[in-house]
Amino acid sequence: MEITGPMLDRFDEILTPEALAFVAALQREFGARRLELLDARQARQAELSAGGLLDFLPETKEIREADWQVAAPAPGLEDRRVEITGPVDKKMTVNALNSGAKVWLADFEDANSPLWENCVAGHLNLRDALDRTIDFETGGKSYALRPDAELATVVVRPRGWHLDEKHAQVDRQPVSGSLFDFALYFFHCAQRQIDKGRGPYFYLPKIESHLEARLWNDVFTRAQELLGIPYGTIRATVLIETYPAAFEMEEILYELRDHSAGLNAGRWDYLFSVIKKFRTRGREFLLPERNAVTMTAPFMRAYTELLVRTCHKRGAHAIGGMAAFIPSRRDPEVNAVALEKVRADKTRESNDGFDGSWVAHPDLVPVCREVFDGVLGSRPNQLDRLREDVSVSAAELLAVSETPGEITEAGLRNNVDVALRYLAAWMGGLGAAAIHNLMEDAATAEISRSQIWQWIHNDITLADTGAQVTKELVERIISEELAKIAQEPGYDEKLFGQATELFKEVALDDDFAEFLTLPAYAQMP
């Protein structure tokens, strides 16, 4: 195994020979299967582009009709009424653990810019937090962990199967980013978590089929064997954030059943996946501008209702989606609007039967907790709400065309503005960026650029101006929005130059890039 990234201060504590041997063992055993499954994604995409549709799988009907349950909730995961998400930098680690949330999603994926320094330092921060050696001071402010009993349960999200870690190679091939992130955390922190009465827990992103969940389950089983950790200690929550996965929820739970901690409604990536999977299929799968698509859209209601029904039928937690609004400590009006929107969102989820939900900022933890307290009381979850009233068809999941809303120049400009700002932040090492009072991550940038690609290729006319969305119009708007951004304090000409070129590549090229993070990562040092 070869490491080509720089060995910065204390990196030798994480990238030990033993830890790297563990990474290499998993890569050698499972790397080829991962690539086969990525090829299967491409084959399915070709079928959809040629006119195919998604449906519940006939070959797994017996699993859906059989009587089975996932493992009982693991220690520290019984009550998940509010979960906070964020990258694994030092400040976020302390703030998230202290936030009052029940769970912290420690993110190596969409909220983390995968600079080598970020990825390895993130593992140091997690280990230091478990050892209670992370307290620090900066800018005249102290950051110190509360007592262990008051800290959120750590659930780590590794990168998706599609991403490599280019600074680590096994047998001259890049290591899977998923296996790299999982293996280093598991090697250093699994026993530390067990010693604290918890366990090594994970969120699994971007899964597109139950076969990809099966691969993760096999990785878990082998990892536990190699380190002598009891079978079933690992628990994983799968994000249902791709369109194909919505049709395989039960099968995904079944594959991971001894290691399952439930499913999460990853709403932003789900919208991106809807666009991506059916981008060539005309107006039947055309969404209005991003801010017009709400969780009350028929196809989104079908998706979330099915998720709760599926999870509770199998004894698994159903976790709601991200509240991306950011409260403002300086602007009472902005703060009031953010809290009102979050309250409405979490009220809908709690009434639908979700067991908990996500927020992106510590100041939103109290409102989310208050809403779920009102439904749960002293109960840890709503697993007893089986939602037997729910019956969702494939046609209802596919009813994208019933989504109300328009496509306007303001919506187009917002997509351009958000994508440029986020990509500049991402290239600069910041994976979660506060933009216009919303916490943006890679998923929302994906929606922005994929919508523009779809609008260009479907001869869309803007509702407010009557102009047709063309490459030329988008290029003009890019120049105009960039000129506005350039007048703001802290503007970085180099980063926005990189962001602009990258955005044009992923939004304006005739060929659709599967993930914008792939060409972006290729430009990273």
21-57 b/e (C-beta count within 10 Å ≥ 16 → b): ebbbbbbeebbebbeebeeebeebbeebeeeeebebe
Closest CA to 176 of 111, 214, 229, 119: 119
- In angstroms, the CA 316 to CA 73 distance is 8
For residue 333, give the H/E element and its range: helix 332-352
- In angstroms, the CA 25 to CA 223 distance is 9
Hey, what are 138's tokens? 């900066």
**438 exposed, middle or buried (CB, 10 Å; 0-12, 13-18, 19+)?**
middle
222-237 b/e (C-beta count within 10 Å ≥ 16 → b): ebbebeebeebbbbbb
Catalytic annotation on 441? yes
Q: How many helices (H) and strands (E) does the chain have?
A: 19, 15
Query: With contact defined as beta carbons under 8 Å apart, do 143 and 75 qualify?
Result: no
Hey, what are 524's tokens? 């990273």
- In angstroms, the CA 356 to CA 363 distance is 17
Identify the residue whose tokens are 């290691």: 259
- In angstroms, the CA 480 to CA 14 distance is 45
Alpha helices in 167-238 (DSSP H): 177-195, 210-227
Catalytic annotation on 132? no
* Partners of 262 in beta bridges: 237
* Partners of 318 in beta bridges: 263
Query: With contact defined as beta carbons under 8 Å apart, do 241 and 203 qualify?
Result: no
Give 468's DSSP letter: B
Alpha helices in 50-131 (DSSP H): 61-65, 90-97, 116-131
Query: With contact defined as beta carbons under 8 Å apart, do 493 and 511 qualify?
Result: no
Closest CA to 377 of 367, 385, 389, 369: 369
* Choice among 128, 345, 441, 449 that is catalytic: 441
* Choice among 34, 81, 157, 281 that is catalytic: 157
Which residues have a catalytic role annotated? 157, 441
